[in-house]
Structure 1
């Protein structure tokens, strides 16, 4: 799929008969989510790390191409839009989600870390909600996605065909004008529950370390903070450290390409650790939901080793 999309975008890039590109998920289940996870498990379990890294490099280059494409790219995300789906959907010029779409970067559950430019998007989200999403691996709705900068507008899924029918009327316009016109014609609005929770999220997830974030969550009296702490304690400690440092490095730079390059370095670091294979086993293959992380606690994570990977190579 990644290669086919790359080939078509390269073909259409200089084709004068193509004025815009639309990317839409096939089928009813969703836009894109997790179809490659079992392949990743086979790669890291059978010493095929290079194949894994090559696939990720192809994927990240495709995401960057979508972000910088010279013609408007419209993405229509429905159902599940997680992991690699966010890389395809959320870097486009015109990003449409449905109110009931489910977005997530849940990589910390499987011993991995947000990639496909996800750390760039999380860094640009309001306050410290990006850290919250990465460290808890929480799912958020299409409504939240618009407020957080992962999508531009909400359109009911049953109107997607109407959007496609209307696109020829916008031929020759730039992406901003197309987006504005589509929102007027088809857009809807709803308040984001996640944005309403921003005050306590910012208080906890602005802390400098994983340990201090958990301390702040544990000191809060409401159930949402307790749930966030419980989610963190179930996730891979090393993955969370990678995510925390990667998001904060991305916030300092605000460049998608540098975020993608950093994410690839972290992927190569994590794929040689046992946590990734163990996390996929526990969550996807055996589904016992009981991964044995090494190390098992955030206090034992090699923070300096992660920082060296996050930093620009010499």
Structure 2
């Protein structure tokens, strides 16, 4: 059997090496399972302490995806089987990995080709160099499975301009490379055909001549310039003002009414609208409240608050039903706890935001 994550070292000049992380659960579109998270965390920690490792390059095996999210199907099954401690363990380990990447002392390059969703964005967000390609498709689709945008999504989305973050969370809208750069989820566009060239250039670079981040910057800049002209058209930029108007309301009920009343010929907007109206109203309420709260949190505080929300949402929210509907039975007919945003019980919402622990498991981040 092939491992779900491949961890290797690419030889470079002067006995230096590049740490190579390849997500390799290709049948699952490289979705993260507990084994992958654990292996990556330990290896990244080792590489950070190894002076011969000058940079880390993360990529997805195959051409379809970097990472389509977390293995939520297995997580749901564990909860259904009575393993109610599973969510806390899974999310704590995932968030520790994400935080490690954000705080990493060596340059991290994330090659975000193909599908990058949910947990994949969590891995990508902390990288110094976040590369999108002509095949990239990013989204935070948690509303469709009764979750909410986690993996520091509440930090990322709350800092986007013009209500775009809330729109992403409520609609699971799909972003191409240009969209991802526009909203700050990515900072480089390089054609997918150049991936092997980039790795070869990293291997051949003179790492003793200048600081590692500068070496990576120079290499990626070369291929970024070679890819100029291939960047697709940004739908988010086109509809920025419309999105801002839809999201700038005094209540979630008004936001959802605005989406319901939206009349448009634009297929991208139609899909986003449909997803929002079909999604979990409870998840929508969690998303809006969390984005407002996260604006003034530190990254550490965001991960701590998300651990509370994620565990409670899995155990008390619409998560198990959403995953059943989309990924298990695939009937796409979820029986959400509440019919619409106006029916969401404020007491249950308050419970989901209440920590089940005296001390947060991530207090030592």
TM-score, length of structure 2 as denominator length: 0.80
Write out aligned runs for 1:46-65 (5 A).
46-65=81-100
Unaligned runs of 5+ in 2: 1-35, 359-365
Rg larger in structure: 2
| Matched-pair contact (CA < 8 Å) for 2:194–2:223 | no
Q: 1:281 to 1:91 in 2, by over 3 A?
A: same
Q: Which residue number in structure 2 is paired with residue 28 of structure 1?
A: 63
Q: Which residue number in structure 1 is paired with residue 361 of structure 2?
A: none
Q: Which residue number in structure 2 is paired with residue 222 of structure 1?
A: 264
Is 188-197 or 80-89 further displaced after alignment? Answer: 188-197
The answer as to 2:265 corresponding to 1:213 is no
Q: Cα offset for 1:44?
A: 2.0
Give the Cα separation in 1 of the matches to 2:115 and 2:164. 20
Q: 1:67 to 1:35 in 2, by over 3 A?
A: closer
Give the Cα separation in 2 of the matches to 1:87 and 1:122. 12
The answer as to 2:202 corresponding to 1:167 is yes
Instruction: Provide the secondary structure at the position in 1 that maps to 2:54.
Output: coil
Q: Which is richer in helix?
A: 1
The answer as to 2:226 corresponding to 1:185 is no
CA offsets 1:232-258 (integer angstroms, 9 cap, x no match): 2200011111111112222233x2222
Q: Which residue number in structure 2 is paired with residue 13 of structure 1?
A: 48
Q: Cα offset for 1:274?
A: 5.5
Give the Cα separation in 1 of the matches to 2:332 and 2:214. 44
Q: Which one of 233, 242, 245 corresponds to residue 289 of structure 2?
A: 245
> Could you list the runs of 4 or more consecutive aligned residues of structure 1 that deviate by over 6 angstroms after TM superposition?
311-314
| Matched-pair contact (CA < 8 Å) for 1:25–1:31 | yes
Is 32-41 or 196-205 further displaced after alignment? Answer: 32-41
The answer as to 2:171 corresponding to 1:136 is yes
Q: Which residue number in structure 2 is paired with residue 4 of structure 1?
A: 39
Instruction: Provide the secondary structure at the position in 1 that maps to 2:292.
Output: helix
| Matched-pair contact (CA < 8 Å) for 2:55–2:212 | no
Give the Cα separation in 2 of the matches to 1:240 and 1:221. 21
Write out aligned runs for 1:1-314 (5 A).
1-34=36-69, 36-168=71-203, 169=205, 171=207, 172-175=210-213, 178-179=216-217, 181-187=219-225, 188=228, 189-224=231-266, 227-253=271-297, 255-273=298-316, 275-303=318-346, 305-307=348-350, 309-310=352-353
Instruction: Provide the secondary structure at the position in 2 that maps to 1:291.
Output: coil
Q: How many residues align?
A: 313
| Matched-pair contact (CA < 8 Å) for 1:163–1:186 | no
| Matched-pair contact (CA < 8 Å) for 1:94–1:175 | no
Instruction: Provide the secondary structure at the position in 1 that maps to 2:318.
Output: helix
CA offsets 1:195-235 (integer angstroms, 9 cap, x no match): 11110000111223221112333454434566544322200
| Matched-pair contact (CA < 8 Å) for 2:75–2:87 | yes
Q: Cα offset for 1:138?
A: 1.7
Q: Cα offset for 1:307?
A: 4.8
Instruction: Provide the secondary structure at the position in 2 that maps to 1:87.
Output: helix
CA offsets 1:25-82 (integer angstroms, 9 cap, x no match): 1122211114512101202212212122101100001000000001001111111111
Instruction: Provide the secondary structure at the position in 1 that maps to 2:246.
Output: helix
Give the Cα separation in 2 of the matches to 1:170 and 1:156. 24
Unaligned runs of 5+ in 1: none
Give the Cα separation in 2 of the matches to 1:21 and 1:227. 36
Q: 1:132 to 1:160 in 2, by over 3 A?
A: same
TM-score, length of structure 1 as denominator length: 0.92
Give the Cα separation in 1 of the matches to 2:110 and 2:271. 32
